[in-house]
Structures are given as structure tokens and as C-alpha cells.
Amino acid sequence: MSDQKINIALAGYANVGKSVIFNHLTGLHQHIGNWPGKTIEKAEGTLHYKGHTIDVLDLPGIYSLSTYSLEELITREYIISAKPDFIVNVIDATNLERNLILTLQLLELDKPMILVLNMVNLLKRSGIIIDFKKLELILGIPVIPVIAIQGKGLTESLDRGINLISQEPNPNALPYGKEVEDRIKQLCQILQNTDLPYPKRFIAIKLLEKDAVIEKHLAQSNREVLEKAQQLNLELEKIHGHNSSIVIADERCHLASQIAKQVMTVTKPEKISAHEALDILTGHKIWGYPVMIAILGLIFFTVFKSGNYISSAIQQSLSGFQSYFYSVFGNSVLTALAWGGIASLIALIEIALPYILPFYLFLFFLEDFGYLARAAYLMDHLMHKLGIHGKACIPLILGFGCNVPACLSCRIMETQRERFITGLLTVFIPCSAVTVIVAGLVGKYLGIGWALGLYFLVFLIIFILGKVVSIITPGEPTELIMEMPSYKFPHIKTIALQTWFQLKEFIYIAAPIVIISGIIIEGAYWAKLLTPVNDFLAPITVQWLGLPAITGTLLIFGILRKELILVMLASILGTADFSKALSQTQMLILALVSMLYIPCAATIAALYKEFGWQKALLITVFKIALAIVAGGLVLRLLNVLNFHSF
């Protein structure tokens, strides 16, 4: 068995500690990417253990092996096609019954598997006693109690998993009710000659669940089996009075409940714990909202303030670098182009380090702590009005700090439809750079009331856009079905590793795009192409939007960073007193267009990373068109209302 290469896969619900186990096993020897052709994150890592090279894959957090979400389909297809040497099913020991529902489905795939009961240190606090040996005898697979946050039980898990490799999978038969089992057996008999990569019993059960992928396969290869399954489904529905898929789900839940009752003893704790009190408070239908506002407000304030401070410090420390660069390399076309790329990279660093770094630290802290699930639950009703569910509140709120991490966090949504809608709405949230423009133009010269009015208009646009896009985008909004994890102290090493890998991946993707954009813009400036560009854009900027001709140049530089609009405007005018060059109407329109038009290059890179070039380009073009249309319409409305008389 020495020098053998082993592939293992971690599977389980979200928030059960899979990431903690993954980081404990692999450390820095890991790679975070996407599944081929998908926007779902794929985490892989390697470790060397007792002469073995072990490749570890952290599968997406799922709640079943159905095909309702992309994560579920990816997990199912990977286990069948890649055939890992063994599966590590990680479950939350404090929620044994619910977690066993997925365990039963994984067992139906008939692959080598061990069951890791994580967070056993929390059992005593919850008044729970589990007989691990009895659970192992019932399921017929190794069961290992683990405290992942302390690294306890992980070597035993590897040892028992490695021992399985040379053995045939032999989990115990766990039958459903008589009516269901009879029909599973009938389907298994006629499936003997069916050429599908799944076990026969798994196919039979999925046919009774009306699994779309299995039905599609059989529709092409074996219509007889499909017709028989449809007949048996009708029989089950007649007996139980429910859809056959609900009957199977109910049987599975009942079986999980029966197993849990045999191995688990629950005693009522003497008094309510601090964790339970916190759970009651944060999930309360009234008090949960002010707590959520306080927590998210604190995050926004901290990210914004710390980001501004760090960004200013970086900017100040590099303030003389441009003069030094030109003094060393001289003033030439090549020097200017090189500086364009360097300046863009500096701008990226001023975003990535100050804003994205604290954002990820907060995000992973709250996720590991267990609070994100509560926030999603509280916001579910409001988010459903936009055609998405409660989890979307996280990217939308974080967009106020920076659209880049907000876009990257859209991956917490379950379906591609909801990811796209959330991503589209997220890039309309005014980020901190846009806040600089609104404050520097409208807030300073027209007053806070007009600035708040612009924000209200943008929020109205976001709400209307969400309603429209949710109607025209194919698919239905999914209901919020997620585990409410127990509160626990976060694992600092896991948070640090997750933050580092996400930050590194973003820089790798965004840096080339931002640098190339900077070189192109600097080249256009050096070649004196910006004046022709201003003239070319004049029918839009001057005639439709009523802005000065130089606005074309401003909007182009705003592609790098939105606040460069004000920086370039002050540079061109030779003064920071914008009232000398812009009327109050022009200030309002320029601020509105800046809020709505194309995201910065870093945001476009984030959109590309999450959704691919086509959707990133679609969102970008749509934002440009909407900014132009909205700016022109608001200008004409202000003229009708004789805005100058206010």
C-alpha cells in the first residue's frame, strides 16, 4: 500500500465543518478554482500520509443527491464518474437525524464511504449522547467521532478510509416501507440490462423520485423501464395521496429518524446555554432585524473605514513613485505605456488589500460562526420580491463597500439563475468609490437631501430591475432550504486560509485585465485620441446628457476606478472647485450616470470569473445603456420642473 496515490472526496451539508477538515488535511497545498464549464467553486488539495499521496476534493455543500441545484448534480456525477477511492461523509453530530438523510442517499451510490461525525464536543452542551459503535453496526460503514476545529479524529478517519480501499463496499441494506420496497425491487429486475453508470437500486429510487436526469437517459435508451416507472409512481401516489417524489423523501426522513432514535439519547440541559440564547435572539421575528442591521452595519462601517485608511496609506506611501519612475526611465511613449500598466496595478492593490481582505475575513468569520444562515432566513421574504431568496442580502449589502467582493460572493446562491440575478443587482449597488463621487459633487454643492434622493432613485431602479429580470429569466425562484448550524467559535486558521486563497485567485484573474486596460487608456491619452473620443461621444454626453464634452474622457478613466472621474475632472479643470465648470443640473446628471454606468475593470473581472465573458459583457453593455437612458430622462425631467429655481 506504500507510495499509493489515493483520491478522496469530502461530502456533506453546508456548515458542517468540511472546509475545516479540508484545510487541516491540505494546509497550503491546495488549489481553488471552478468546476469545468461551471461557476461553482472547486477546492482541491494534497497531503502525504504514511507513504500515500492523497488528493482531497471538497465537494460543494449539498442537502440531497437530487438534480434541483447545480451543486447536487456536480456532486453526484463526480462520485459516479471520477470514482474516488472513498467518500468522507462529514455530518454535524448535533443534528444527526437531518444529516443522515444525505448519508442514506450517498450509501445508495454503493461506493466506499466513511461517516465522520464532526463537532462531537458540542454534544454535551446540547444534552446529546450518541452510541457511535451502534451507528456503525446499523449503517455497515466506519463511523468516526471528530473535533475538526482541534484536528482530533482526522488521522483515524484517514486510516479507516485507507483500509476500505482493498475491500468491496458492503453497507447494510436499509429498506424503506413495504410499498416502496416492492416497487424498487420490480424496477431493479427490469433494469438488469440497462447500461447506466449508476447502481441499479439507485436508479430505481431516482425513478420513483422522478429524477429528470435519469428519466432523460432512459427516454433515449430504454422507454420500457421509464413507462414501468411511471406506472409504479401512479400506484404509490394512489396509495399515499402524494406525489411519488414526496413519498420517497418522507420514507427517507422516516428511516433517518428511526436510526437516530436507536443510537441517540437526548437529555434536557439544566439551563439554556449562551449559544441557545444567542440563537433565539438572532433568529427572532422582531429583534432579529435590529441585530442583523447592527452586525451588517458594523461590517460595512469597518470595511469602509479600514479600507479608506489602508487605501490612503498605500496611496500616500506611493505618492512619489510616479515622479521617481519617470526620473529613472525618462518621458517616452514606452515609459508612459509602462506607467499606465503599473498605475492600474497600484489601483488594483488599493482595492484588493483595503476592501476585499477585510470583507473576506468578515464573511468567513460569520459563516464559520453560523450567523450567515440566520441573516439569510430573516431577509428571505424581502429578497423573494426580487425573484431570489434571503442569501442574496449578503452580496447586496457588501456591494456598498466594493462591488468586487460582492460579485464574488454571489456563489453562495444555489442556482445559476439566482446567481445571475444577484450578480446583476449587485453591480448596481453604489460602492464606496461611487459614494466619493456623489459626496464630492451632489452632497457638497447641492446638499445631503439631493444625494439621498439619488440613492433612493438607484434603489428604486434596482427593485424594478429585480422584478423584471426575475420574470423574464427562465426558471423559478427556489425556496430557502438550509441548515441552521449551531453557533461555534470560528476556526482562525481556516478563515485565514480561505481568505488568502480567495484573495490570491482574484488578483490572478483581475490583474491582467486591469493592467491591459490601463495601458490602452494611457496609449490613447499619449496618442491624443481622447479628444476625438470626446467628439465622437458628444452626441451622447453633450446633446443627450447635457454634460461638458470632457465627460467622455472622464467616463473612460472611470473604467479603472470610479473616483478617477473626480480626480481627472479636477486635473483637467485645474481646480477642485467643480462649481466653476459644472451647473447643479450637470452635477446631478454626472453623479447619476457614474452610479449606473459600466462597473470598474476589477468588477468586470469579477463578473467574468463568476459568470463568464458573455454574461459579464451583457451586464456591462446593459449598464451603459441604462445609464445613458436614465441620465437623459432625468435631465429632461429636471428641465420640465425648472430645477434651477429650487
Write out pLDDT tens, residues 509-561. 667 766 776 787 778 777 877 788 888 889 999 999 999 888 887 788 777 77
SS3 at position 41: strand
Domain coordinates of the chain in residue numbers? 5-164, 178-266, 288-318+326-512, 522-640
SS3 at position 265: strand
* Contact predicate 610/423, CB 8 Å: yes
Q: How far apart are CA 420 and CA 427, in angstroms?
A: 11
Quick one: pLDDT band at residue 507, thresholds 50, 70, 90?
confident
Question: Which of 324, 325, 314 has the alpha carbon at shortest distance from 347?
Answer: 314
Q: What is the pLDDT of residue 509?
A: 65
Q: How far apart are CA 577 and CA 430, in angstroms?
A: 24
- Diameter of the chain by CA atoms? 86
Alpha helices in 427-529, H assignment, sequence order: 432-438, 444-445, 448-472, 492-526
Q: What is the pLDDT of residue 38?
A: 52
Q: Is residue 30 within a helix (H) or strand (E), and if so which, with residue range?
A: strand 30-34
Q: Which of 80-89, 393-402, 519-528, 566-575 bottoms out in mean pLDDT, i.e. has the lowest?
A: 566-575
**What is the DSSP secondary structure assignment for residue 438, as one 8-state letter?**
H
Q: What is the pLDDT of residue 481?
A: 56
Question: Which of 194, 198, 255 has the alpha carbon at shortest distance from 226?
Answer: 194
Question: Which of 399, 566, 386 has the alpha carbon at shortest distance from 462?
Answer: 386
Q: What is the pLDDT of residue 630?
A: 93
Q: What is the pLDDT of residue 336?
A: 81
**Residue 563 pLDDT > 70, yes or no?**
no
Q: How far is CA 433 from CA 75, 296, 399, 552, in A?
A: 39, 19, 11, 19
Q: Which of 16-20, 166-170, 271-275 bottoms out in mean pLDDT, i.e. has the lowest?
A: 271-275
Q: How far apart are CA 115 and CA 146, in angstroms?
A: 10
Tell me how many degrees the CA angle 39-44-46 measures, rounded to the nearest 5. Answer: 170
DSSP calls for 182-200 = HHHHHHHHHTTT---SS-H
Q: How far apart are CA 148 and CA 482, in angstroms?
A: 21
Q: Is residue 54 within a helix (H) or strand (E), and if so which, with residue range?
A: strand 52-58
Q: What is the pLDDT of residue 645?
A: 44
**Residue 34 pLDDT > 80, yes or no?**
no
Please compute the mean of the pLDDT values over residues 304-330 and round it to a whole number: 78
pLDDT, one tens digit per residue, over 15-27 is 788 888 988 888 7
Please compute the mean of the pLDDT values over residues 297-326 and round it to a whole number: 76
**Residue 644 pLDDT > 60, yes or no?**
no
Pick the more confident residue, 439 or 629.
629
* Contact predicate 422/410, CB 8 Å: yes
**Residue 81 pLDDT > 60, yes or no?**
yes
Quick one: pLDDT band at residue 1, thresholds 50, 70, 90?
very low
Please compute the mean of the pLDDT values over residues 316-326 and round it to a whole number: 81
Reported pTM: 0.65
**What is the DSSP secondary structure assignment for residue 547, as one 8-state letter?**
-
Q: Which of 74-78, 338-342, 573-577, 590-594 bottoms out in mean pLDDT, i.e. has the lowest?
A: 573-577
* Contact predicate 326/461, CB 8 Å: no
Q: How far apart are CA 590 and CA 418, in angstroms?
A: 31
Share of the chain above pLDDT 90, in %: 20
pLDDT, one tens digit per residue, over 595-608 is 998 878 878 888 88
Pick the more confident residue, 505 or 479.
505
**Residue 221 pLDDT > 60, yes or no?**
yes
Quick one: pLDDT band at residue 362, thresholds 50, 70, 90?
confident
**Residues facing residue 114 across a β-bridge:** 88
pLDDT, one tens digit per residue, over 282-291 is 777 788 888 8
* Contact predicate 206/61, CB 8 Å: no
**Residue 7 pLDDT > 80, yes or no?**
yes
9: alpha, beta or left? (left if phi > 0; alpha if psi -120 to 50): beta
* Contact predicate 425/468, CB 8 Å: no
Q: How far apart are CA 55 and CA 34, in angstroms?
A: 17
* Contact predicate 514/45, CB 8 Å: no
**Residue 638 pLDDT > 60, yes or no?**
yes
Tell me how many degrees the CA angle 519-524-525 measures, rounded to the nearest 5. Answer: 100
Question: Do strands 30-34 and 86-92 pair parallel, antiparallel, or not at all (unpaired)?
Answer: unpaired
Q: What is the pLDDT of residue 351?
A: 57
Alpha helices in 241-356, H assignment, sequence order: 244-263, 274-282, 288-317, 321-329, 333-351
Q: Which of 193-207, 386-400, 448-462 bottoms out in mean pLDDT, i.e. has the lowest?
A: 386-400
Question: Into which CATH architecture does domain 178-266 fall?
Answer: Orthogonal Bundle (1.10)
Q: How far apart are CA 455 and CA 472, in angstroms?
A: 26
Question: Do strands 5-11 and 30-34 pair parallel, antiparallel, or not at all (unpaired)?
Answer: unpaired
Q: How far is CA 586 from CA 434, 547, 568, in A?
A: 16, 6, 16
Q: What is the pLDDT of residue 646?
A: 44
Question: Which of 445, 387, 479 has the alpha carbon at shortest distance from 585?
Answer: 445
Q: What is the pLDDT of residue 553?
A: 79
pLDDT, one tens digit per residue, over 389-443 is 677 777 887 777 678 778 877 877 767 788 888 889 999 988 767 877 787 788 7
In sign, the C-alpha dihedral spanning 522, 524, 527, 530 is negative
Question: Do strands 86-92 and 113-118 pair parallel, antiparallel, or not at all (unpaired)?
Answer: parallel
Highest mean pLDDT, choosing among 9-13, 46-50, 191-195: 9-13
Taking each helix axis from N to C end, the angle separating 18-26 and 154-164, rounded to the nearest 10 degrees, works out to 80
Quick one: pLDDT band at residue 134, thresholds 50, 70, 90?
very high
**Residue 146 pLDDT > 80, yes or no?**
yes
User: Taking the CA atoms of the chain, what radius of gyration do you get in angstroms?
Assistant: 28
Q: The domain 5-164 belongs to what CATH superfamily?
A: P-loop containing nucleotide triphosphate hydrolases (3.40.50.300)
554: alpha, beta or left? (left if phi > 0; alpha if psi -120 to 50): alpha
